[in-house]
Structures are given as structure tokens and as C-alpha cells.
Amino acid sequence: MKQLLILTGPQGSGNHLWSKIFALHPQVSGWRALLDTYWVGHDQEPFADCWRDPGLLHTYNWKNADWHVTSISVPYMDNGTATVPDFKGFVREAQSLGIKVKFAILGRDRNIVEMQQQRVREGITLSQALAQYAPFATPVFLSYELLHLYGTKYLETVAKQLEFPISINDPRLAAILSEDTNTKYFSPVKHHATDDLAKHASRKHT
């Protein structure tokens, strides 16, 4: 059975990063344009027209692979308009074609997501995304922080959970993971009250 993995997360949670990772595998039909260009708008994502009109899934070329990936954020920008994806309609149409649909919900530090949304979109839409994901039955959650902390070991776990191929040995993966964009939101804290407690607790007692 052919499979379609829907990568979805709040705006700013890493859709483009994860799309690049899944597009690396030669047997996966994914967003390959991202492998040659740092950033591409969601209006150019391979399934973009199908998200506007799920009925177009019937005309999509499913024969080129057994594994397919689509990336969509909540909301996503459709010709300059913030739009909530029609998940029910999209999944219903895909399943009518005999496609097995899986969801992977992307996660990132809540504070960073909100700062990102405010900076880029001038408004926080996190609650809108969380409301959309609440009814999802059995998604797999993908963590931006765990990805950068554990790298390929984490991707091995993700591949097993999703039962979906990921090229963990592709030499391009190192370049994709080389930049942790969380760092631009951080500033070092020179001292905090809990530091003294931690130092006290770690002392040898005589």
C-alpha cells in the first residue's frame, strides 16, 4: 500500500527542515526543491494545489514512489492569505485512492515558536494550530530540539516509529543539521539564584 506522510506543525516549528530530511531518501517522493534552495514558499510545495482542492489528489502522480511526503503548517500562507488546511477533506480524498495516511506533528520550544510567529507574521497563531491537532488520533511527534541534540540517533527512532524511510547516512544531512536556528533567540544568563543551590547540593559534605 502506498503511504502519504503529512508533516504539519505550527508556523515556525520546522516544516522546511523536516521536509528536507525526508526528501533525501531516493525512494521517497518529497519536496526535493528544498535540497537545492534554502527556503521555498508553501505555495510551491508539491501538494500545494491539492491542499487548496483535495479533489486534485486524484490527478496526482502516485506511481513514481511508494512513499510520499507533504508539508503543511497551521496556518499556511496561500497567496498571502493565512489559511487553515482542510485536513479532513485531504485525508478523505487520499484514503479513497487507497493511500495510507500518517501524521507527524512538529514540535519546537513554545516560547521560540511564539517569538518566531510574532517576528515573521506579526501575530501569534499557536493556539489555532493546537486546536487543529487536538482531534488527531495517533500522530507521531517530531521534536526540533531532540533532532539537534541527538541527530541521526533520533532520526533512527523516528523512522521506526513512523515505519517510513529516512536517509540517515546521506552526506547532505550534516549540512541540513548544521544550523540550529534556536540559537538566535537565546542570550546567556550570567547568574541565576538556582545556580547557588545546585553548587551547594553538589558539594562534598564533611
Report pLDDT digits (tens) over 153-182. 999 999 999 999 999 999 999 999 999 999
Residue ranges of the chain with per-residue pLDDT less than 70: 189, 191-206
pLDDT in tens, 123-146: 999 999 999 999 998 899 999 999
Residue 68's φ and ψ, nearest 5 degrees, are: -130, 150
Smallest Cα–Cα separation from 120: which of 79, 82, 66? 82
**How high is the pLDDT of residue 80?**
84
Partners of 124 in the beta sheet? none
pTM metric for this prediction: 0.90
**How high is the pLDDT of residue 115?**
93
Domain 3-180 sits in CATH at 3.40.50
